[in-house]
Amino acid sequence: MYFFLRAARGTVASRLRRDLSAMGSRRWAASGKVRLPLQQASAGKTLASRVNGRPQARSWRPAPSGRSSSGTTFEALTKYRRETVIAVGLKITAVAWVGILTVFAMTYLTQQLGMPRSVILSAITLAGLIEVLVMPLAGWPSDVIGRRTIYLAGTGFGILLAFPIFWLFETRDVTIVTRAIVVGICLCQGVVFALHASFMPELFGTDARYSGVSLGFQLGAAIGGGLTPVVAAAIVARTGATWAVSLILVALGVLTIVAVLSTRETAARPMRA
């Protein structure tokens, strides 16, 4: 989706430059389109007045001028250390599945099982396109029945799929392997990833929310997404078996479940001040 948006933005910018060149700056200004920044400023003032009228905005006070980003990071690691650890646990399994089904699977399926590289790339691309539709379908019920329920469902499915997915890979059947990658990415990662933007910020107060979410997200991604494919490749290269990789996915899933159960339900509740 990001690449689609960038392409659209580039097309619009190119068209705008061409129009400006053809019309000339004076004619463009005379046409009245120069009023657009004024309209945007007016809309911004209206939006600001509406936001400032809300109780959350009235109760907020800017941080002291001497406060730095290192200060909020320190608060995330001290005042919100429990929430930061939970955020790492929430992130670690989903990104591990992505690393296994993209980076590791590419090497394993092509070099160990002899499948065409193009088949794996097509499966990953298809999974990404379907995942764009899966994520809002996972985010919506989390507002209704709760973040924890959806998070536990996605993580639990990943635990159940940890062993069977390699059995499906070993069939070397193009259709089966493609479906396995699509299901794994969409349900083991997409369902959980859809909740990160809401679940993680709801764990922290406003004084360290951005730093806490960033620490949890980045540390979880580094551990789960950075180390898991490397460790999996080393295990398979040494033993030739994938059962240990499946155990890693199960263990990470258990850690995420513990993290989820360590939180209170945050959906439909006021965020921490």
Mind listing the pLDDT tens digit for each residue in 109-153? 999 999 999 999 999 999 999 999 999 999 898 888 988 999 999
Which two structure tokens, joined as six digits, stand for 212?
A: 């806490």
> Per-residue pLDDT averaged across 43-65, rounded?
52
pLDDT of residue 55: 54
pLDDT of residue 58: 53
Which position has the higher pLDDT, 98 or 55?
98
Which two structure tokens, joined as six digits, stand for 40?
A: 């945007």
pLDDT of residue 72: 74
Q: For the chain, report the end-to-end CA distance as a whole number of angstroms.
A: 33
**Nearest by Cα to 142 from 193, 98, 91, 182:** 193
d(CA 221, CA 239): 26
**Can you give the residue ranges of every domain in the chain?**
114-261
Which position has the higher pLDDT, 41 or 73?
73
Give the confidence band of 10 by pLDDT, cuts at 50, 70, 90: very low
CB 194 within 8 A of CB 138: yes
Collapse the DSSP code of 171 into the 3-class scheme (helix H, G, I; strand E, B; otherwise coil) and give the result.
coil
pLDDT of residue 61: 54
CB 93 within 8 A of CB 156: no
- 148-157, 201-210, 253-262: range with lowest mean pLDDT: 201-210
Q: Using the predicted structure, report yes or no on whether residue 169 has a pLDDT greater than 50.
A: yes
> Per-residue pLDDT averaged across 185-190, rounded?
94
pLDDT of residue 30: 44
Give the confidence band of 203 by pLDDT, cuts at 50, 70, 90: confident
For all residues of the chain together, what is the average pLDDT?
80
Q: Using the predicted structure, report yes or no on whether residue 217 has a pLDDT greater than 80.
A: yes
Q: Using the predicted structure, report yes or no on whether residue 226 has a pLDDT greater than 70.
A: yes
Q: Using the predicted structure, report yes or no on whether residue 163 has a pLDDT greater than 60.
A: yes
Angle 84-90-92 from CA coordinates, rounded to 5°? 100
